[in-house]
Structure 1
């Protein structure tokens, strides 16, 4: 961001922190313990965040050819890392969803798609 002269918006950082804390206040009928769905929802939220990050790296990679401020080579490693994180989060999400949504907690592949 510094290379592109984009200022850090501390109010957005604070808002994100507050939103994360507020998300923990949801009324799921379990005041002391976590809902079985909590892990699935959190993995989905993390995946969405990483997808957004990957989109930003892809945009920078596309602009690197025409904007001398962007080093295209430096963009590739964070993009590859984000794509690995997406695959890992999806595998974890599918595993957790299978545990939550099957009656006996045994994973079945019926209706679930495995992502490499």
Structure 2
């Protein structure tokens, strides 16, 4: 498949074909149709994609992009794991004794946080 390659500053722009299933085809419902889309890759991504195509690992840059998208589709549970980890950390911190909590009052909360940040900066500057 020919690529439309244009150099723009430090970004490469590719026009590639991507497969997407089309529902309701009458002739051959198993066949996927392709849509032409434009993507931008920075130099490092473009060079890597070109290298693995040259090395014969993928037939085209479109195939590299499709493989990356497919891998993300297979790993769609990763964000849920990250959220579960954050929820566990919040629960752990909620179980700390109250004397280890930072006391913050609603109306003055932001000023108190700013004061804590200023105090930490001063301690860092003074080597405390």
| TM superposition score normalised by structure 2 | 0.25
Task: Name which structure has the greater RCO, CA cutoff 8 Å, separation 6+.
Answer: 1
Q: Which has the higher strand share?
A: 2
Q: Which has the higher helix share?
A: 1
| TM superposition score normalised by structure 1 | 0.26
Q: Which has the larger radius of gyration?
A: 2
